[in-house]
Amino acid sequence: MGDCHYLDGNVKAEKMFEMTRELVKILGIDPGRLRLEWISSAEGTRFAEVATEFTEEVRSIGPFTLKKAA
């Protein structure tokens, strides 16, 4: 990786994303509610496509409700 023009920001973001994914799993939240994409600021159409696709995926998972601790 290391392809980010902000030096190593994308590498740090990916590590943080993976840690967050593990936490979400531990909390019992569907990890499908998270997504990491690399999209350039010049790719407006691609951003819109990914945002629409991800929104549809999350909607198909359904609403999230917190369960009360026992």
Burial class of residue 29, CB neighbours in 10 A (0-12, 13-18, 19+):
middle
Report the number of distinct structural domains present in the chain: 1
Query: Does residue 69 lie within any of the structural domains?
Result: no
Position 46 scores a pLDDT of: 96
Query: Does residue 68 lie within any of the structural domains?
Result: no
Query: Does residue 32 lie within any of the structural domains?
Result: yes
Query: Does residue 28 lie within any of the structural domains?
Result: yes
Lowest mean pLDDT among 17-21, 33-37, 39-43, 54-58: 39-43
Interval 22-42: pLDDT, tens = 999 998 899 999 999 999 889
Position 65 scores a pLDDT of: 82
Position 23 scores a pLDDT of: 95
Show the domain range for 36: 9-61
DSSP 67: P
Quote the pTM value: 0.75
Query: Does residue 19 lie within any of the structural domains?
Result: yes
The torsion defined by the Cα of 1, 43, 17 and 32, in degrees rounded to 10, comes to -130
